Amino acid sequence: MASAPALATPPSLVDRHGRAIRYLRISVTDRCDLRCRYCMAEHMQFLPRDAVLRLEELAQIAERFVARGVTKIRLTGGEPLVRRNMMTLVEQLGRQIGQGLAELTLTTNATRLADHAEGLFAAGVRRVNVSLDSRDPAMFRHITRHGDVAQVLAGIEAARIAGLRVKINMVALRGLNEDEIPSMLAWVVANGMDLSLIETMPMGRIDEDRADRFLPLTEVMARLKPRFALAPDSHDSGGPARYWRIDESGSRLGLISPLTNNFCATCNRVRLSTDGRLHMCLGHEDSVDLKKAIREGGIHAVDEAIDRALAAKPERHDFRIEAGAAPAVARHMSVTGG
């Protein structure tokens, strides 16, 4: 893939609220081989392939963000590893590490991680986030509608053998996996990994009412504290999680709580969706079209579009979960990326 042409560096990425943008999340595809109930409808309509940014366009846009001050890129989906030739993008972005980019990471459901773990490490990836809401085979199959948890666990083990640090992302779901959270935390600690708990977010229409499954992390923590030695931790991974140290293990528990503990004041990120739209906030519909910019005006037009986005980035999201309420935004998480 061709690299973006050399350009004079425009001003750094600072939004209208004075927040420096150092983190870019890229959804490389809206497609996924699972159908998690809180994320997708069972019968999804995915974007046509000609509506998706080409891999070389993703690389050019990402490199421009790095030139303007982004130091961390996370590749997401959908499931990023289902995209054909995905590793060519990983390899190209990996060459930016040490050239302005400090870290390249990946969020995956791990169904295909066993095939790619060694290649990810060779390309410069050192950490992956794995979405895993249950280790119980029947519950995992229910939440994902057809997934095989053994395949995911094999991917996690392959990642650890390859030298990748693994963090488990677990969406807390009332009446489904809430009783598994303590055992998940114990398993993570025993295997030298980290765990992030996430409140379900009202994005895109699904087949259930999210209010029925919403589990506040304040409630979860009240259950965990009597069972685990948890101490506040100042660790900053670049994202929205607030961390706790677990015993003397070296493992961390992260809390991502968009509803019960708003984290927008320190927001340092923007998201590029698979259709080329730059979303300034996960909880707002506003976006600018970088696909049109790069195809019609090249990298100079991309810079101008990025500047427009920064000038419009809102101060905070407005997520609410209420019974029967419409989702906060119409797009599904798989379009924007986690």
Binding residues for S-adenosyl-L-methionine: 38, 78, 131, 201
Sheet holding 23-27: strands in order across? 230-233, 242-246, 252-256, 194-199, 165-172, 127-131, 103-108, 72-76, 23-27, 269-272, 277-279, 287-289
262 exposure class (CB count in 10 Å sphere: 0-12, 13-18, 19+): middle
Q: Which residues are annotated as a binding site?
A: 25, 32, 36, 38-39, 74, 78, 107, 131, 167, 201, 264, 267, 269-271, 281
The pair of three-digit structure tokens given for residue 62, joined into one six-digit string: 């990402």
> Using CA atoms, how far apart are residues 206 and 190, in angstroms rounded to an integer?
35
Q: Are 294 and 61 in contact (CB under 8 A)?
A: yes
Say how many CA atoms lie within 13 Å of 239 toward its Cβ.
23
> Using CA atoms, how far apart are residues 271 and 255, in angstroms rounded to an integer?
20
Q: What angle do CA 232, 238, 239 make, to 5 degrees?
A: 80
- At residue 104, φ and ψ (nearest 5 deg) are -120, 125
Q: Are 188 and 168 in contact (CB under 8 A)?
A: yes
Q: Are 334 and 83 in contact (CB under 8 A)?
A: no
The residues with which 170 forms a beta bridge, in sequence order, are 197
Q: Where are the alpha helices (DSSP H) in 83-136?
A: 86-94, 113-122
DSSP string for 289-308: EHHHHHHHHHHHHHHHHHHH
No. of helices (H) and no. of strands (E), the chain? 9, 12
Residues 6+ apart with CB under 8 A from 206: 37, 38, 39, 40, 41
Q: Which residues are annotated as a binding site for [4Fe-4S] cluster?
A: 32, 36, 39, 264, 267, 281
Q: Which residues are annotated as a binding site for GTP?
A: 25, 74, 107, 167, 269-271
